[in-house]
Amino acid sequence: MPALWLLSDPARLPDPTPLLDGLPRGAAVLLRGAAPEVARRVARICRAKGLLLLVSGDGRAALRLGAGLHVPDRAACRNLLPFLLNRRSRLLSTAIHGRIGVARARRLGADAALVSPAFPTESHPGATALGPLRWAVLAGAARRPAVALGGMTALRMRRLPGRRAAGWAAIGAWQQSVAHQPQCLREVALP
């Protein structure tokens, strides 16, 4: 299970290509709303660098790219069944923002759950964050490796209780770390 995850975002990071060199081998890249040409380029780079690629919300796109699939919590996931029937060893992750997400992760047999928002996040300004304790409750209820998302940094990872977090995911922390590489990686608190 990847301990570090880079997420793209249609508004904040539509093309994560410039950040891929800063990721260590085995890290995950989750494409959300990426243009097809960006997705193809990122897939090539991920294969060459030993990064794990996941596509959010479209099972056929994930299969075409040889990627895993991320099932979002607040949006529909197209072509889920074809992915499930053909996934082989491809990673399946789900988003968890509450009890419904926990039930979905269990029902689908997800390999990982991105539990969010752990802390206040720029992606959803003003949204209520879970905080470390509520995050840990949802992560434990998922009964699968939980990845912390939402305002995450390597230092905030240390604020999560016990060994609940299998890793952490971010957009902004990776963008901010580009000028400071490999500082971001030196601060990583791995479980």
Do the domain assignments include residue 191?
no
Q: Is residue 110 part of a domain?
A: yes
Q: pTM of the entire structure?
A: 0.89
State how far the Cα of 177 lies from the Cα of 172, in Å rounded to an integer.
8
Q: Provide the number of structural domains found in the chain.
A: 1
User: What per-residue confidence (pLDDT) applies to 177?
Assistant: 58
Cα 170 to chain centroid distance, Å, stands at 7
Name the residue with higher pLDDT: 97 or 173: 97
The secondary structure of 16-38 as a DSSP string is -GGGGGGSPTT-EEEESS--HHH
Name the packing angle between helices 99-108 and 131-142 (round to 10°).
30
What is the domain range of residue 174? 4-186
In this structure, is residue 75 part of a structural domain? yes
Residue 173 lies in a domain: yes
Asked if residue 89 is part of any domain, the answer here is yes
CATH number of the domain encompassing residue 72: 3.20.20.70
Res. 77 pLDDT band, cuts 50 70 90: very high
Q: Is pLDDT above 50 for 134?
A: yes
**How far apart, in whole angstroms, are the C-alpha atoms of residue 44 and residue 130?**
35
